[in-house]
Amino acid sequence: MSSSQTTPGALTPTGTISTPKDRRRVAFATVVGTTVEWYDFFIYAQAAGLVFATVFFGPLDKDFPGLAQIISFVTVGISFLFRPLGAFLAGHFGDRIGRRPMLVLTLILMGIATTLVGALPTYAKIGVAAPILLILLRVLQGISAGGEWGGAVLMAVEHAPKKRRGLFGAMPQIGVPIGLLLASGVNAIMALVAPGDAFLSWGWRIPFFFSIVLVIVGYWVRRRVEESPVFEEIAQRKEQVSVPVARLFARFTPLVFLAALVFVGNNAVGYMTTGGYIQGYATNPDGPLGFDRGPVLWAVAASAISWLVATFGAGVLSDLIGRRTTFIIGWIVQGVFIAVLFPLVNSGSLALLTLGLVLLALGLGLTYGAQSSWYAELFPASVRYSGVSIAYAIGSILGGAFAPTIAQWIQTTTGDSTNVMWYLLMVTAVSLVVTLLLRERKGIDLSPANEAEQERGIYIWQR
């Protein structure tokens, strides 16, 4: 056999799995696992917009009308504060013992926390203990989400052929809109099965219990994939860093925060729907629209399909024109559709509300599909899991953590959704500016043997 050939399943000289079957298995596993993780995350956020203000925080409205809904959205944001802890833990062990074990552990943790939320007694049953337990379970969800994303994207990108990293990196990314689609669809079905008070009484719990089925499927799929070839090479060379997070911040602190700011614009805008704000705004019986829950949830499901298609398309596009250019186009498109979102939502037409969400999702996809491949190419191999996970977690805090709360506060205090639009345009502009400060890295060798090159030419002021 010539030196250019490889045996089935062997590593190529570029560090990728040589058989298409193994690549497909990895891609499928990252999609399934990420879908399960974010289904769990989103059903909580949607319940916060639709139910939790009533069943867990209702007494707060007696003296301060509207406060229960604001606090309900605060619990969505609290989990983001614990994402860095999950990112630190998963990043440390992911760079030390491998990507795959962390993917399995984070999936199990998320599933347990989500199922227990569905079993929680309400405030009417056990008083203040109910919201306290709810918040504690949300913290566990945050720890899981903080560690899961980095492992999923690295498994996808580090297994991928050099010229198709954008495509493979889009696989875990599309798991997020699929999770939103699944969460919205299941909640919409339950709104039909258990309308009105029945939804508040027990209907909202079923989507949380359904999580356990998805976790079992995700666990089975993820256990069947091979470890990342980049990590295998690191292990073979015995080059694991003893404290990856310490090395990351000693040498790459500016990169961590710039990469985090790239994510801020997408995450803040995305959490208008994934965080439950639009659902709560559109269905509030005392608000300007007063739509029923079911139709609004179906509108969000339609936007998830748009987000999925655009996310996948952005990954493919980034292999052709580069990650940076794809992001720049995405920020412009996202800004345009932010400007038309609230006029369409406030029209009072369910069809136009759906159109506004679908258009916004196109911009979100263009600023999300290439993120995993660009993040993986920005960080050196030895600290890559820590770098991408922590940057993503910090970006989530600065962007989406309290975006629904901020939007609700702006709407409550000013009574004008136009001011929410200006807030979303501002965070989009921040991410556009930061994108311009980073260099294109498409096609860089990701193996640990090339770490010296990986540390050079990251910023526009570097050669």
pLDDT per residue over 411-451, tens digit each?
888 888 889 999 999 999 999 999 999 999 998 988 878 88
Cα 34 to Cα 27: distance, rounded to the nearest angstrom = 11
Structural domain tally of the chain? 1
pLDDT tens digits, one per residue of 166-214: 999 999 899 888 988 888 889 889 988 988 889 888 999 999 998 888 7
Residue 143 within any structural domain of the chain: yes
* Cβ proximity of 346 and 288 under 8 Å: yes
pLDDT tens digits, one per residue of 351-400: 999 999 999 999 999 999 999 999 999 999 888 888 998 898 899 889 87
Cα 402 to Cα 207: distance, rounded to the nearest angstrom = 24
Q: Is residue 4 very low, low, confident or very high in pLDDT (cuts 50, 70, 90)?
A: very low
Helix (H, G, I), strand (E, B) or coil at 459: strand
pLDDT tens digits, one per residue of 108-145: 888 888 899 999 999 999 999 999 999 999 998 888 87
* Backbone conformation region of residue 197, classed left if phi is above 0, alpha if psi is from -120 to 50, else beta: alpha
Cα 188 to Cα 331: distance, rounded to the nearest angstrom = 31
Tokens of 210: 């359904």
Phi, psi of 39 (to 5 degrees): -60, -50
Which of 348, 294, 88 is CA-nearest to residue 185? 294
Residue 75 within any structural domain of the chain: yes
**Residue 6: count of CB within 10 angstroms of its CB:** 15
**Residue 132: count of CB within 10 angstroms of its CB:** 12
Cα 102 to Cα 386: distance, rounded to the nearest angstrom = 12
CA-based angle 195:201:203, to the nearest 5? Answer: 55
Residue 378 within any structural domain of the chain: yes
Has residue 267 got a pLDDT over 70?
A: yes
pLDDT confidence of residue 119: 93
Residue 269 within any structural domain of the chain: yes
Residue 4 within any structural domain of the chain: no
Point out which residues pair with 438 in neighbouring strands. 459
Q: What is the DSSP letter of 228?
A: P
Cα 325 to Cα 219: distance, rounded to the nearest angstrom = 36
Residue 459 within any structural domain of the chain: no
Q: Is residue 242 very low, low, confident or very high in pLDDT (cuts 50, 70, 90)?
A: low
Point out which residues pair with 17 in neighbouring strands. 11
Domain extent at residue 254? 20-454
CATH assignment of the domain containing 76: 1.20.1250.20
pLDDT confidence of residue 356: 95
Cα 241 to Cα 243: distance, rounded to the nearest angstrom = 6
Contacts of 185 (CB under 8 A, 6+ apart): 297, 298, 301
The more confidently predicted of residues 4 and 76 is 76
Cα 314 to Cα 113: distance, rounded to the nearest angstrom = 32
pLDDT tens digits, one per residue of 271-290: 888 767 888 888 887 777 88
**Residue 300: count of CB within 10 angstroms of its CB:** 29
**Residue 243: count of CB within 10 angstroms of its CB:** 13
Point out which residues pair with 459 in neighbouring strands. 438
Phi, psi of 193 (to 5 degrees): -70, -40
Q: What is the pLDDT of the chain when averaged over all its residues?
A: 84
Cα 221 to Cα 100: distance, rounded to the nearest angstrom = 11
Q: How far is CA 97 from CA 101, 201, 242, in A?
A: 8, 45, 11
Residue 337 within any structural domain of the chain: yes
* Cβ proximity of 159 and 33 under 8 Å: no
Cα 65 to Cα 9: distance, rounded to the nearest angstrom = 62
Residue 192 within any structural domain of the chain: yes
pTM of this prediction exceeds 0.85: no
